[in-house]
Amino acid sequence: MTNSQLKKFCKEWQKRLRLQDWNVSVAFGILEDSTGLTKINPNFKVAKVIIDEEGNNELEITLVHELLHLHADPFSQDLQEKYKTNLEAMIELTARALVEAKYENNK
């Protein structure tokens, strides 16, 4: 996937997830221990998403996962450690379901 394709996917999913009021920049990068990372500034509705494409053939799911973190951000901050795994699982399963639904609907 090229950088411009990634940006196009980001615009598309911002729209699908009703995140058009956010200023999201997305780029490929190298990450230590995850496939995606998002830095969020909720006050200005600004987010920076990094996607590591090394060995990742589910880039669109990773992108949607990271974008869903914007919706989860207000209740992610003070979340107890024991619930963080549940939140990650919920985001990941939702991202997968949404991407699957997109391609099922396009059949």
Amino acid at 107: K
Convert residues 46-85 into a mask of x (bound to Zn ion by CB under 5 A) and - (unbound): ----------------------------------------
52 contacts 36 by C-beta, under 8 angstroms? yes
Per-residue contact flags (x/-) with Zn ion for residues 1 to 40, judged by CB under 5 A: ----------------------------------------
Among 7-15, 72-80, 86-94, 99-107, the segment contacting Zn ion (CB under 5 A)? 86-94
CA distance 10 to 49: 10
